[in-house]
Amino acid sequence: MLFNGKDSTLAVDLGPDAVRVVSVQTRRGQPHVAAFAEQSLADGNAANLPDRHLDALASVLSANGIKTRRVVAAMPTTSIVTRTVQIDTGKSMSPEEQIQYTLQNCLPDAKDLAFDYWRVSPPRPNEKAFDVLVVATQASLVERYLQGFEKLQLSCAHMDVAPCAIAALIARTTTNPDSPVGTIALSPGTGFFAIIDKGQVLFWRPFDTSAISKSGATTPQLERMGEEISKCVSHMVGAMGGDNLGELLIFGRNSGDAAIGDYLKNRFNLNVRAPSPFDAFASGANSSGAIEQPAATNYCTAVGLALQKLA
Amino acid sequence: MAELIPLHYRARLAVRQRVRLWTIGGALVVALCAATLVVAGVWTHAAATEAARLRGDFVQQSSLIQRSEELQRRRQELADRMKKIEGLRDDKTLLALLRNVAGGFADFDSLEYIHINVRGPRPTDAAAVAAAATDSDTSHFVVRMSGITTNTSSLADLMTRIGKARDPALQVKLESSKRENYLDGQVTRFQMTCEKPGTTGS
């Protein structure tokens, strides 16, 4: 690894239903997929979710002979809290202190807090406040994952959240890079809608997908999901002053369901696509064998994480 | 993109990576040094072995050379000795001197002691040595002798006979003579020296 000219990264998606890994190697500046695999989680509750994730990760690494030790990972979205916080530039408190103060109202233990944020409102002259999008989780939970990685001889270089990983993926696959893109990620039991602009997440809202069965969605279920997305779009129009989504991309389970695509297309009058995450790589870059839809779409977060480190 | 890894963990990770890089680098340097030392040690050992072998060969050949030189010296000494003996055997001057001296003595003359000192050319002069072997004139000689004769007249006759001898000619010089009693009568005891004519004595 030191001298063979290859930069290898293992992207780990700690999903709510499974652990998915994608090993990407960079050779002469060109990323190549060296390996990809997934391992379903054992049954359990939310309290032992990290242990189940790490057990599944150990299993998938040993089963597939993956030797890459440099890891980038995405925390499970069920463990993440996201808020849009308004930062008052007139206050004496720093933005971090203002964010902590705000999060105290929505998290049980303000001391056990790990968060990151970025600005989402466009800069204005003489502004007295601006909006930031905050993602937060329990610091002890992050520590549990990091310690688990160390036990597996893995070195975690970056710990992110799934919407940001997908933002990196969309930045390489969108057909209209100047317009914001709406994206829907579906997984068993949960999903999220995010608005992404120029590789940055502007808004993100999780919603319940437990009503959508594996075989497909019924009209009432689609209506419920559409309402959630509609609220997000309304928030975007109200808070950001625009309704200029270029297209809507769907990833994850049931993303290829024609009923879902047609419903979203008719309701929001947008171009709806369900691309394969592996399309972000150049032709022939998938050296580990072809992976086709619908399995490929489940790797959207892992591929996005890998692309983040290549950006 | 969001970063949820705490700062202290990232710092620890960076330190660990640096330490690992330095460790690997140090290990490589140590391995290189060890390999160099091993190669140098092997080379030194091979050189020492070769030097010891050469030293043994030298000692062996040196003793052979010394023994050869000793043998040559001994052979040279033997050759010199044989040459000396050959010279003595072929010394015509000595034989001629003995012949002339013996021819001079009559029936009533008696020779008691004779000392012949013949000196040829220096041994380093090969040409003179070769000439001396065939020409007795190149030698220088002194014959000292003592004896008794009947009277002074017979002593004079003896000196005359010896002085007439040729090849080589002798220049006779009476050193001393005196009358003395011998048995029931008197005799003349003499000492004389014969030299190569033209020399001033030794």
Cα nearest neighbour of B24 on chain A: A2
Rounded mean pLDDT, B160-177? 90
Chain B residues in contact with A139 (beta carbon < 8 A): 6
Name the token pair of A230. Answer: 């509609």
- Give the CA distances from residue A157 to residues A15, A152, B5, in Å, rounded to whole numbers and listed in that order: 19, 14, 8
Query: In chain B, where are the structural domains located?
Result: 8-89, 92-195
A137 to B4: CB separation less than 8 angstroms, yes or no: yes
B1 to A167: CB separation less than 8 angstroms, yes or no: yes
A160 to B24: CB separation less than 8 angstroms, yes or no: no
Crossing angle between the packed helical segments B92-104 and B152-164, to the nearest 10 degrees: 150
Chain A residues in contact with B18 (beta carbon < 8 A): none
Is B126's Cβ below 8 Å from some Cβ in A?
Answer: no
* CA pair distance A158, A156, nearest whole angstrom: 6
Cα nearest neighbour of B4 on chain A: A159
Is A221's Cβ below 8 Å from some Cβ in B?
Answer: no
Contacts of B94-99 spanning 24+ positions with Cβ under 8 A: B94/B118, B96/B136, B96/B167, B96/B168, B97/B141, B97/B143, B97/B168, B97/B170, B97/B194
* CA pair distance B108, B185, nearest whole angstrom: 13
CA distance A214 to chain B (A): 31
Percent of chain B with pLDDT over 70: 89
Instruction: Categorize the per-residue pLDDT at B202 as very low, low, confident or very high, splitting at 50, 70 and 90.
Output: very low
Parallel/antiparallel/unpaired status of strands A190-197 and A200-208: antiparallel
Domains defined along chain A, listed by start:
6-78+139-165+278-310 (3.30.420.40), 80-137 (3.30.1490.300), 174-275 (3.30.420.40)
Is residue A88 within 8 A of residue A27, CB to CB? The reply is no
Beta bridge partners of A132: A85, A119
User: Does B165 score more than 60 pLDDT?
Assistant: yes
- What residues contact B32, with CB distance under 8 A and at least 6 apart? none
- Which of A71, A145, A146, A307 to mutate to test binding with chain B, by most B CBs within 10 Å of its CB? A146
Q: Nearest Cβ partner of A116 from B4, B17, B24?
A: B4
Pick the most confident of A62-66, B92-96, B121-125.
Answer: A62-66
B6 to A161: CB separation less than 8 angstroms, yes or no: no
Chain B residues in contact with A135 (beta carbon < 8 A): 2, 4
Q: Nearest Cβ partner of A164 from B1, B9, B24?
A: B1
Is residue B144 within 8 A of residue B191, CB to CB? The reply is yes
Local structure of residue A273 (DSSP, 8 states):
E
pLDDT at B138: 59
Q: Nearest Cβ partner of B4 from A2, A114, A167?
A: A114
Range from A81-90, B31-40, B126-135, B136-145 carrying the lowest mean pLDDT: B126-135
Is B5's Cβ below 8 Å from some Cβ in A?
Answer: yes
User: Does B135 score more than 80 pLDDT?
Assistant: no
pLDDT at A3: 42
Is A146's Cβ below 8 Å from some Cβ in B?
Answer: yes
Within the 116-135 window of chain A, which residues sit less than 8 Å (CB to CB) from chain B? Answer: 116, 118, 135
Between A247 and B74, the more confident residue is B74
The yes or no reply on domain B92-195 and CATH 1.20.120 is no
Between B91 and A8, the more confident residue is A8
If you count residue pairs, one on A and one on B, with CB atoms under 8 Å apart, how many are there? 44
Chain A residues in contact with B9 (beta carbon < 8 A): 143, 146
Mean pLDDT of residues grouped by 10 in chain A (311 residues)? 62 92 84 88 88 94 90 91 88 89 78 88 85 91 93 91 91 79 86 87 82 64 80 73 76 82 85 86 56 80 86 62
B24 to A146: CB separation less than 8 angstroms, yes or no: no
* CA pair distance A28, B34, nearest whole angstrom: 35
Is the bond into B168 cis (omega within 30 degrees of 0)?
Answer: yes
- Give the CA distances from residue A151 to residues A134, A148, A159, B12, in Å, rounded to whole numbers and listed in that order: 30, 5, 17, 16
Cα nearest neighbour of B2 on chain A: A160
Name the token pair of B31. Answer: 């391995």
